[in-house]
Amino acid sequence: MPIGADGKINIRNGGWNPADVVLDVVGYYTPASRSAFVSAWVPLRTLDTRVNYSWGLRPAGQVPARKPEVMQFEGDTHTPEVDAWAVNTTVTNTTGDGFLSVAPDPNFWSDYENGTAVAPKRPVSSALNWTSGGTVPNLVQTPGGKGGIVDFWNQGWSGIDLIVDLTGYYQTV
């Protein structure tokens, strides 16, 4: 949505009745911005925990409570041309309430392979919330860690199925 010269935006209710409006600003571009959004041609399903081996060698199975699902989006070194990722996350097959956190991981993939990875700190921010029996999607934007790795944290008290679709990335211009 473009911003006027006065720094304001217009929001219009096209209905006949009044409406309450909530507007969340999640970011903006300026002429000095270092990145531009590059959309995927079509969303790329990078993870579906309901399906065997949908992400590398991961067998099907829910993400346990209070644990992260660790995903590498880049090679073993951070690609400086990519500042962040845009993914649609969906939580389903829930048996309790909870929320999903998404955060950059502090390790390289080789740290996980050779057993030297440090435990990522559990974030407390929410990317989406669910209630028991719910299926909830939400778009999330996050940088990759130093190795291009992103952690998807199940912040509930029971397992969940997680679906992640890559919709694009922010490329350095």
- Sequence-distant (6+) residues with CB within 8 A of 113 are none
User: Quick check: helix, strand or coil at residue 98?
Assistant: strand
Q: What is the mean pLDDT of the chain?
A: 87
Q: What is the DSSP letter of 117?
A: P
Q: Which of 12-16, 54-58, 136-140, 141-145 has the lowest mean pLDDT?
A: 54-58
Residues 81, 172: contact at Cβ < 8 Å?
A: yes
What pLDDT was estimated at residue 55? 62
DSSP 14-83: -SSS-------------TT-SEEEEEEEEEEEEEETTSTTSSTTPPS-PBPTT-EEEEE-S-SS--TTEE
Select the more confidently predicted residue: 29 or 55. 29
Predicted pLDDT at 34: 82
CATH code of the domain made up of 36-172: 2.60.120
Cβ-contact 107, 120 below 8 angstroms: yes
**CA–CA distances in Å: residue 71 to residues 3, 112, 164:** 36, 11, 10
User: Tokens representing 122?
Assistant: 């559990």
Which has the higher per-residue pLDDT, 24 or 132? 132
- pLDDT (0 to 100) of residue 2: 66
Dihedral pair phi/psi, residue 166, rounded to 5°: -75, 125
What is the reported pLDDT for 32?
Answer: 81
pLDDT at 75: 59
Amino acid 1: pLDDT: 58
Answer whether residue 136 shows pLDDT above 80: yes
Three-state DSSP at 156 gives coil
pLDDT in tens, 35-87: 888 888 888 888 999 988 766 667 889 999 998 899 887 755 555 678 889 99
